[in-house]
Amino acid sequence: MDNNGLLAPAAVLVLWTCIMLFWLAAARMTAVKKSGADLSNSPPGGRGQDIDPMLPQGARWASHNYTHLLEQPTIFYAVVLILTVGGGGADATNAALAWAYVGLRVVHSLWQVLVNTIPVRFLVFLVSSLCLTVLAVRAVMLTLA
């Protein structure tokens, strides 16, 4: 497997993050329209989370998930780059871990936006975090070798 093999799961997670951005925008716009809220009087410099109290849970969940996709996955992107640039890091084990991480993040997103029960969401997050941790350890081992 060449080093580019690890870039595909990272690219898929970037695309998924973009999909979730549009999902959150649609959920927010629909919720604001249904509520009849007038956002034209919002103070300058406001953030999306400032309207959270006005929105139903489902619309908030999409927003929270999008934020989650901009947090821990940034470590994933760094690890993928380290393994790719470091050479020799794109073996079958790393590729399987990377795809597992991405798949679990997609499952986490769907669960959080559609169902959002914490025990299941936490379990999916924990397993994805373990995949990421193993990838990070393998990146350290590659760079210290």
The string of pLDDT tens digits covering residues 27-77 is 988 988 887 766 666 667 667 667 778 788 888 999 999 999 999 999 999
Q: Which among 66, 44, 63 has a CA at the least distance from the CA of 54?
A: 63
pLDDT higher than threshold 90 for residue 96: yes
pLDDT number for residue 145: 82
CA 36 vs CA 30, 43, 54: distances in Å: 10, 18, 10
pLDDT over 90 percentage in the chain: 71
Q: How many folded domains does the chain comprise? A: 1
The CATH number assigned to the domain holding 67 equals 1.20.120.550
Residue type, 73: P
CA 54 vs CA 36, 37, 67: distances in Å: 10, 8, 18
pLDDT number for residue 45: 67
pTM comes to 0.90
The answer to whether 112 and 121 have CB atoms below 8 angstroms apart is yes
Tell me the residue range of the domain where 11 lies: 3-144
The answer to whether 82 and 142 have CB atoms below 8 angstroms apart is yes
